[in-house]
Structure 1
Amino acid sequence: MSTQTPASNDAAIREITIAHSPDSDDAFMFYGLASDNVQVPGYRFTHTLTDIETLNHKAMNEAFYDVTAVSFHAYPYIQDNYALMACGGSVGENYGPMIIAPRPYSLDEIRKIKIAVPGTLTTAYLTLKLFAPEIETEVVPFDQIIPQVLAGKYDAGLIIHEGQLTYSHSGLHKIIDLGVWWQEQTGLPLPLGGNAIRRSLGPEVIHIVAKALYDSIKFGLDHRKDALAHAMQYARDLDPEMANQFVGMYVNERTLSYGEDGRTAIRKLLQMGHERGIIPHPVKIDFVE
């Protein structure tokens, strides 16, 4: 699904392609740009909405979009072609991806059960493997994990996005919140996803686009009612109150700036992934703004 700003006849207009997931938090974040409330003279921004694991692979295999939402776990695989933007990230403050199941397994039991996961490049998967390296997994589209666990195809699932707020409505049990586990292990928030920008754009364009994204996030936060109304069309199974809660979890002051502990958390997460053999090569992180 794509949305585009109106075309211009001016050949000097530079098009910047932006890709993000069709979720209420990303929609809120990009509302300023998507609604043309944030404009940059000489630039046109086009938006493509695709699930995060598809974006992870597209960035890794093609370096396709100028700006793309990515899981932090995917960043080491795209670091030669992309830099991390200093804004636009989603960080869990003592919350994050959860393992859910129809019955309350113990942590020892859950380590021996095959878990449905939303993708092997997701940060949820990386954190799961840090928690339990031996755990067996199978990839299932993120929005099918809860239905397939309920149908009995899997004994447990690793959930992200709105499922974190709705799983109990289906009678499922939370076995562990990996954001809580991470905070207990490190004392840091859990960085989940960010926005990356193609290095080939060059420093000047990167700065202009990064400023536009910052302004879009700020516009949404400053015009919350309108931004939430826009985001509701992507709020799967959430009523307005829950959508507001979900957006607040992942679009906040840390989305404007990770903060020093947020940047430390990103580095630590990926360094641990490399040290544990989950990420095959050293990670080089640089933030652009």
Structure 2
Amino acid sequence: MKIAYSPCPNDTFVFHAWSAGLIPGAPSLDVTYADIDITNGLSEGTEGPEVMKISYAALPWTHPDYALLPCGGALGRGCGPLVLTAGGAADGQFDPALLSGKTVAVPSERSTAYLLFRLWASQNVPGGVGRILVMPFHQVMPAVQRGEFDAGLDILDARFTHQHYGLTMLQDLGSWREQDTGLPIPLGAIVAKRSLDLEAVAGWIRASVDYAWANPEASREYVMSHAQELSPEVAKSHIDLYVNRFTRDLGEDGFAAVDALLGRAAAEGLVPEARLASLRLRSGANAR
């Protein structure tokens, strides 16, 4: 079975057991390690892999041949994207108006990070920001550090490592969203082609998550071989934050968070109206 997910520690931790052939009855995997911007684009057509990790913000454009699985992704609290700059803020305070007309690097125009940024900026940055440039997420912080951009939007390990680049956090978009709605932040989703036995696929993913939690050391070598120069301590912090109860099962509160985010974005004209009900494979006892 062809699958695509990122080389980030949360994805490699989740899928290690399945990719290593440790899940009874599960087919072998042909893995492509791909940046989220690549898989977001692949999800719009039918030529992509059978299973892949995309952004929840890309769901409104996802081809009808794909269904959203209720497991394997990244959704949680205290895990939102960060707006970063190489400059300090006077007295620790940041005026969002300073981003007016500025150049910002983002990891994908169809990422949850960028969607949250646009929602936040529409309320807080007079006249909006200036130029937006998309680049692979692991290149954003170094580019901001070099002064190539006024600010950068970063995800995943940025909250653990941005200080190493001498960067200042201007806004935690996850905290802003959680204070605004009380809901967790939907980041990465797993979609699969409807031609598959979707309940079986969901079951194999859950079994892989369960194995990872029961045997946390088993995946260490695999995780670190793809960890893009992260230290073992940062990789562990990354996994502890992004692999949580929503990874095993979104549940009704998880789906409510996705629905609320995409519904608000559609109401503001930022995304097409999502077909979440038709995309959704329901979680529950009938998922193996």
Both proteins in one fold, TM over 0.5? yes
Q: Which residue of 1 aligns with 2:50?
A: 66
Q: Say whether residues 1:135 and 2:129 are aligned partners.
A: yes
Report the equivalent of 1:188: 183
**1:287 counterpart = 2:272:** no
Find the partner of 2:16 among 31, 51, 58: 31
CA contact (8 A) 2:18 2:28 kept: no
Q: CA deviation at 1:175?
A: 0.4
Report the CA distance between 1:47 and its aligned residue: 1.4
1:252/1:229 Cα in 2 relative to 1: closer, same or farther (>3 Å)? farther
- Distance, in Å, in 1 between the alignment partners of 2:191 and 2:115 is 19
CA distance in 2, matches of 1:59, 1:50: 12
- Pick which of 263-272 and 88-97 moved more: 88-97
| Preserved CA contact (<8 Å) 1:100 1:174 | yes
Check conservation: 1:188, 1:265, Cα contact below 8 A.
yes
Amino acid at match of 1:113: K
Aligned residue in 1 for 2:125: none
Residue 198 of structure 1: CA displacement? Answer: 0.8
Q: CA deviation at 1:280?
A: 2.4
For these two proteins, the number of residue pairs brought into alignment is 270
Amino acid of the residue matched to residue 271 of structure 1? G
1:106 maps to a residue whose letter is: D
Structure 1 residue ranges without an equivalent (≥5): 1-15
AA aligned opposite 1:123:
T
Q: 1:198 and 2:190 equivalent?
A: no
The 5 Å alignment of 1:160-179 reads: 160-179=155-174
Match of 1:95 in 2: 79
Match of 1:107 in 2: 96
Instruction: For residues 14-46 of structure 1, give each alpha carbon's deviation from its aligned partner in whole angstroms, at most 9, with x where no partner exists.
Output: xx21111111110000011111111316x3322
Which 10-residue stretch deviates more, 241-250 or 135-144?
Answer: 135-144
Q: Identify, as 1 or 2, the structure richer in strand.
A: 1
Rounded to whole Å, the distance in 2 between the matches of 1:223 and 1:172 is 35
2:6 alignment counterpart: 21
- Indicate if the aligned counterparts of 1:100 and 1:173 stay in contact, CA closer than 8 A: yes
**Separation in structure 1 between the aligned mates of residue 22 and residue 189 of structure 2, nearest angstrom:** 22
Residue identity matched to 2:246: R
Contact preservation (8 Å) 1:97, 1:159: yes
User: Larger deviation: 75-84 or 47-56?
Assistant: 75-84
SS in structure 1 opposite 2:276?
Answer: coil
Instruction: Spell out, residue by residue over 1:192-218, the C-alpha distance to the aligned partner (whole angstroms, 9 max, x if none).
Output: 0110011132xxx11111111110111
Which of 144, 151, 154 matches 1:156? Answer: 151
Offset, 1:130: 1.0
Q: Are 2:59 and 1:75 aligned?
A: yes
Please list every run of 5 or more consecutive structure 2 residues that lacks an aligned counterpart in the other structure. 123-127
TM-score normalised by the chain length of structure 2: 0.89
Letter in 2 for 1:21: S
Q: CA deviation at 1:79?
A: 4.9
Per mean C-alpha deviation after superposition, the further-off stretch among 264-273 and 53-62 is 53-62
Distance 1:231 1:160 in 2: 18
Residue 69 (structure 2) aligned to one of 63, 71, 85: 85
Post-superposition Cα deviations, 1:220-257, rounded to whole Å, max 9, x if no partner, equal: 11111122332111222322122111111111222101
Which residue type is aligned with residue 157 of structure 1? G
Distance 1:31 1:113, change over 3 A: same
Alignment of 1:249-264 (within 5 A): 249-264=241-256
